[in-house]
Structure 1
Amino acid sequence: MTVRTALEVIADHDLTGREAIVTGGAAGLGFETARALAAAGARVVLAGRDQQVGAAAVAALRASTGNDRIVFRPLDLASLESVTTWAHKHAATGKPLHILILNAGIMATPLRRTADGVESQFAVNYLGHFALTMGLLPSLRAAGSARVVSLTSRAHRRGDIDFDDPNYLRRHYDPWQAYGQSKTACALLAVGLHARYAVEGLTANAVMPGGIVTGLQRHLDPEQLAAAGWPALRRRGDIPPGWRTPEQGAATSVWAAVAPGLVGGEYLEDCAVATAWNADGNPPPGYYLPYAVDPGRADRLWALAEQLAGVGRKP
């Protein structure tokens, strides 16, 4: 199978006059996603924590794409105050938002809880993105036909949502299970958005980008990498067999943002709609576990997120 890059996916698209936001857009997968959108003429807002890294990314993207409509704005997804302030400031501009890429994330971190009392992976990967999307709803609605892309992972198989104890207050903390729970939540976010806002022109899908060597693995020591089945990652810079470059990994995110005819609430992989895995064992590439797109779980998670984030659906 030929694996396309994000720039190849975007090649025949003109996004002039479109606005896009990419969380985690200053590095890795997000950087390549932003590069493709900017190359097609979109105005791209990079959202991330580090102002210095963000400024360098803006300079690099402007130089490589010839598009000077690229900016960076600091955002801390671990802080609901930061998220809601950021979203409300953007929405207050009145500009339509055509593409929202929920890309930023952390993986297999030690147990930490945010100032809001939320387990850090659930907070950064899912809850912060949920609150950001809710705050940006006026901008998404103003676009008329907006796209929201929520990045999930094949690691969703490592953890369904524990609705009784999502923040590991009582159960044993396993960093991979917590990562899996957060990525299941990211898939269910797309399902929940589709159920509530498709009628308003919003198309939301979950994207599995593939195995990619980025800063996402920075918290893992060599033993953890080997235990996860990634021994080659012990040699930084190596790309294990079957893994992808960031340019390739960003392809499905970009495809989800621009491909015509997409229906929302789907799990996407390799620039296609993936298939539910109903057999025993772990799903192979191109498949997902059904609970990741289950409407009932999506509704329960939505209610939980509203409670944790202190936000509800606005009229």
Structure 2
Amino acid sequence: MTYGASSTAADVVAGHDLTGKEAIVTGGASGLGAETARALAAAGARVVLAGRNPDNGERTAELLRKETGNELVVFRPLDLGSLQSVRQCTERHVATGRPLHILVANAGIMATPLTRTADGFESQFGTNHLGHFAFTTGLLPALCAAGTARVVSLSSRAHRRSDIDFDDPNFERRPYDPWIAYGQSKTANALFAVGLTARFAGEGITCNAVMPGGIMTGLQRHMTLDRLQEMGWADEFGNPVQPPGWKTPAQGAATSVWAAVAPELEGVGGRYLDDCAIAEPWTGDGDPPSGHYLPYALDPEHADRLWTLSERLVAP
């Protein structure tokens, strides 16, 4: 079956039986995460929604149980901006002894003012990358126990805004720019897919990076009204505007679900996926068009260097 930009998560998961499979979706209480979780639950998986807000998380879990008829949808607290919270969540899951077949690293923040995580990292790099790095590596016993496991790392076309600044990833010396910081974190999400696959494919664990597309979700909540209007994402009254070519949340979740279940991706990792297809490197002028990525986002040497840096930064 061929899917594309207009496909939905429900389209992609149709015909798949995930009964007996365990999945975790970070940021699963809203937006793309909720749509991803809905599709996996509809196919029979036990789905853990991992997120910061217990009220929203429990409410979404209850809603998904009712909508899908799957009683195995639960919420677990997770704050990716706190390594203590990350460790508590991973230890809790590993202690259950349940194998983990699908991990969707979906949660993220975008274009925030300069703030720092509980551990002192720049918030976008710390939350979007380091939090997920610590979360995924903490879950390795459960991923290995699955025999075959897929990790989905949500990147973005915004990776074009910045490679990794290995000398100052946390903006401790260089001037802060919220979009450069976001771009760096999304490049890190793509490089993580390369690094994880290189190290653990032999254990049956593969990871691919996903470009979900432009979608109006809570991701824009840190942007000022002036900036939203300047980018064409809000009208003169402050109402959200969906630009041409943007997707619905259900369409935006399709590539994440495709990464998690597509038979043609069995054993395939370290790729950048866009519109339910494997994207190609862009070596032309200007920004990469749809279906392409800048080569540094999947560079193996950069991935190794980032892995080493990340291990050092998240070490207890």
TM-score bracket, shorter-length normalisation = over 0.9
1:186 aligns with 2:189: yes
Mark the CA change 1:231 to 1:303 in structure 2 (over 3 Å): closer, same or farther. same
Q: Distance in 1 between matches of 2:212 and 2:5?
A: 15
**Partner in structure 1 of residue 31 of structure 2:** 28
Shift of 1:237: 4.3
- Contact kept in structure 2, 1:232 and 1:240, CA below 8 Å: no
Deviant stretches of 4+, over 6 Å: none
Q: Distance in 1 between matches of 2:30 and 2:201?
A: 31
Shift of 1:230: 3.6
Cα-Cα RMSD: 1.4
1:121 aligns with 2:124: yes
Shift of 1:231: 4.9
Mark the CA change 1:99 to 1:232 in structure 2 (over 3 Å): closer, same or farther. farther
Query: What secondary structure, in the 3-state scheme, does the structure 2 residue paired with 1:36 have?
Result: helix
**Partner in structure 1 of residue 51 of structure 2:** 48
The one-character-per-residue Cα deviations of 1:209-245 (angstroms, maximum 9, x if unpaired) are 0000000001111221244454559753432110000
1:273 aligns with 2:266: no
Alignment of 1:227-306 (within 5 A): 227-228=230-231, 230-231=233-234, 235-262=238-265, 263-306=268-311
Q: Distance in 2 between matches of 1:154 and 1:235?
A: 25
Alignment of 1:171-210 (within 5 A): 171-210=174-213
Unaligned runs of 5+ in 1: none
**Partner in structure 1 of residue 112 of structure 2:** 109
Q: Distance in 2 between matches of 1:259 and 1:225?
A: 35
Q: Distance in 2 between matches of 1:266 and 1:244?
A: 22
Match of residue 220, structure 1, among 220, 223, 227: 223
- Contact kept in structure 1, 2:208 and 2:269, CA below 8 Å: yes
Shift of 1:254: 0.2
Query: What secondary structure, in the 3-state scheme, does the structure 1 residue paired with 2:191 have?
Result: helix
**Partner in structure 2 of residue 75 of structure 1:** 78
Amino acid across the alignment from 2:305? R
Mark the CA change 1:86 to 1:2 in structure 2 (over 3 Å): closer, same or farther. closer
**Partner in structure 2 of residue 149 of structure 1:** 152
Match of residue 93, structure 1, among 89, 92, 96: 96
**Partner in structure 1 of residue 315 of structure 2:** 310
Query: What secondary structure, in the 3-state scheme, does the structure 2 residue paired with 1:67 have?
Result: coil
Query: What secondary structure, in the 3-state scheme, does the structure 1 residue paired with 2:33 have?
Result: helix
Q: Distance in 2 between matches of 1:178 and 1:234?
A: 29
1:170 aligns with 2:176: no
Query: What secondary structure, in the 3-state scheme, does the structure 2 residue paired with 1:59 have?
Result: helix
Unaligned runs of 5+ in 2: none
Question: What is the TM-score of this pair, normalised by structure 1?
Answer: 0.96
Shift of 1:84: 1.2
Identity %: 68
Query: What secondary structure, in the 3-state scheme, does the structure 2 residue paired with 1:244 have?
Result: coil
Amino acid across the alignment from 1:290? P
Q: Distance in 2 between matches of 1:2 and 1:91?
A: 36
Shift of 1:89: 1.4
1:136 aligns with 2:139: yes
Query: What secondary structure, in the 3-state scheme, does the structure 1 residue paired with 2:263 have?
Result: coil
- Contact kept in structure 2, 1:54 and 1:72, CA below 8 Å: yes
Q: Distance in 2 between matches of 1:249 and 1:193?
A: 24
**Partner in structure 1 of residue 87 of structure 2:** 84
- Contact kept in structure 2, 1:225 and 1:233, CA below 8 Å: no
Give the total of aligned pairs: 311
